[in-house]
Amino acid sequence: MFAIDAHLDLSMNALEWNRDLRASVAEINARETARGWKDKPDRGNATVAFPELRRGRFGLVVATQIGRFVAADNPLPGWHSPEQAWAQTQGQLAWYRAMEEAGELVQIVDRQGLESHVARWMGALRSGADTTRLPIGYILSLEGADSLITLGHLERAYGSGLRALGPGHYGPGRYAHGTDSSAPLNAAGKELLREMDRLGMILDATHLCDEAFWTALEVFQGPVWASHNNCRALVDHNRQFSDAMIRALVARGAVIGGALDAWMMVPGWVRGKSLPEPMGCNLEVMLDHLDHICQIAGNADHIGIGSDLDGAYGREQSPSDLETIADLERLPAMLSARGYSPPDIEKVMHGNWLRCLLNAWPA
């Protein structure tokens, strides 16, 4: 079945992890293991590359740029000026362009391109044609707005294909505070949202701290989604959405993508110490989170996949029954075993994200 993943940090992995995503996951891991690299926690444990995306029938992804600014008193890793952060995102954009030139990716920026690309992939899958060389469609999203030096830079980014934006990430942000921090949405953040409205962009509510979340929904009038988020009722942490937040997103017609970072899936996870199998972290747990959203919504219209599988972790912090992202092709059978109907399974695998995009990009 054609599938969409609404959150992958492809350019970050390519440039900061120095991974050639045209190679298979096995080749990437073998190279890192042979060299004994220990600079990243997931060396030798990668789960995402282009061959595995195609094998899992992920013909469309939301792919990120990311460049965090950190002030002198901020202990988080990041760039020491917005200009440096902007330069980082532009390097990431250059990598996406190189992958387009190589025939690996195609950027999707409007309804016509979306419909044409999805029809090409679905037609190939229905006919049994070879999809191993089909370009993977990508929609560009910015995770955290710190790199936008001015609002003029947002318009420049839009001109380069940016179509979704999450104003905050981790900690204090120039426009909005994110995970593990808390502050009201500031004046610059409100202006950012109004400019996003003018440009017709999608607000990604993921990572917004609670205070900023509620104000953002008041200020922003356009389409909203949450690319990769789980449920606070199941894992009690400010990174997750409370039931009230889920209800508010449902009321806005948003879709929430289930994330596969283990600490967000099961309670009591200790980063760097816990392991997926002893903690009972598997793909069924992802479906528990999605089920919880469905119970609140009363339907399956607001859930999808937003795996974040390459978000600075690998198999050591992923579901125990997942080797690569291609293993998500098992989700339809797992959803069916839980009583989801075929139309609802299609919604989870791609239909809900497509509806969001078609609503955001009118003819």
CB-based burial label for 103 (10 Å; 0-12, 13-18, 19+): exposed
Predicted confidence (pLDDT) per residue in 212-251, tens digit: 999 999 999 999 999 999 999 999 999 999 999 999 999 9
Predicted confidence (pLDDT) per residue in 107-158, tens digit: 999 999 999 999 999 999 999 999 999 999 999 999 999 999 999 999 999 9
C-alpha to C-alpha distance for 307 and 331, rounded to whole angstroms: 12
C-alpha to C-alpha distance for 248 and 343, rounded to whole angstroms: 24
Sequence-ordered list of residues with C-beta below 8 angstroms from that of 44, at least 6 positions apart, any chain? 29, 32, 33, 37, 314
Do 139 and 164 contact (CB within 8 A), yes or no?
Answer: yes
pLDDT for 201: 98
Q: Which residues of the chain have pLDDT under 70?
A: none
Give CATH for domain 3-360: 3.20.20.140
pLDDT for 255: 98
pLDDT for 124: 97
pLDDT for 362: 87
pLDDT for 363: 82
Domain assignments of the chain as residue spans, ordered by start: 3-360
What are the φ/ψ torsions at residue 105 (nearest 5 degrees)? -130, 155
Residue whose entry in the numeric block shows the structure tokens 């999605």: 290
Do 311 and 46 contact (CB within 8 A), yes or no?
Answer: no
